[in-house]
């Protein structure tokens, strides 16, 4: 203990501050501040960048049949604001969807479903079509009550062979 105290007192005696540098000359171009960015312009560009990045990064589910353009806009805006205020909520949402999609894949494993099929069902990608008209978007619960083994097999085939032009229909 004595040695540490002696060493620290020697360091304090020997230690010296670095010399203070002389003041720097201000460039004449810095005196005209009208050509510089203002605090408001910096804040505006930061907020605009955050809003644009958040708007692009949020991928909400497919809207239902009753949703109009304004309702879809408000839905996306709600998730954008939520992502700005509490981004961990979006992470929780994504983890929950990942777990549920895995459970759906396990549930329909004998029909060769994968986690992708589960995600597609969760996001509202499967729909009930009767006589060529869209009736409703299927939820996991509605799919369970509605489908038979044959229609589940058809949905699985549509998912494996899907191209952009493939129309996947499930008729009850």
The residues spanned by each domain of the chain are 103-172
Looking at residue 96, its pLDDT comes to 93
Task: Give the C-alpha separation, 117 to 115, whole Å.
Answer: 5
Looking at residue 169, its pLDDT comes to 43
Rounded alpha-carbon distances, angstroms, from residue 39 to 45, 50, 160: 10, 17, 54
Looking at residue 108, its pLDDT comes to 86
Looking at residue 63, its pLDDT comes to 76
* Segment 56-75, tens digit of pLDDT: 888 777 777 777 888 888 88
Task: Give the C-alpha separation, 122 to 103, whole Å.
Answer: 11
Structure-token pair, residue 124: 């509202």
Looking at residue 34, its pLDDT comes to 64
Question: 3-class DSSP state for residue 65?
Answer: coil
Looking at residue 172, its pLDDT comes to 34
Looking at residue 84, its pLDDT comes to 87
Which residues in the chain come in under a pLDDT of 50? 162-172
């Amino acid at each position: 203990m004595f040695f540490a105290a002696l060493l620290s007192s020697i360091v304090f005696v020997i230690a010296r501050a670095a010399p203070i540098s002389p003041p720097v000359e201000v460039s004449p171009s810095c005196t005209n501040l009208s050509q510089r960015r203002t605090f408001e312009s910096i804040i505006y560009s930061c907020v605009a960048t955050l809003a644009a990045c958040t708007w692009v990064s949020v991928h909400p589910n497919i809207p239902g049949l009753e949703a109009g353009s304004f309702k879809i806009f408000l839905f996306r805006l709600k998730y954008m604001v939520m992502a700005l205020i509490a981004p961990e909520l979006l992470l929780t949402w994504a983890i929950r969807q990942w777990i549920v999609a895995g459970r759906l894949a396990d549930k329909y494993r004998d029909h060769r479903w994968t986690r992708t099929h589960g995600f597609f069902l969760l996001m509202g990608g499967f729909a009930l079509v009767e006589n060529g008209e869209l009736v409703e978007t299927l939820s996991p619960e509605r799919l369970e009550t509605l489908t038979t083994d044959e229609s589940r097999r058809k949905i699985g085939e549509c998912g494996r062979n899907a191209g952009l032009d493939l129309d996947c229909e499930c008729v009850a």
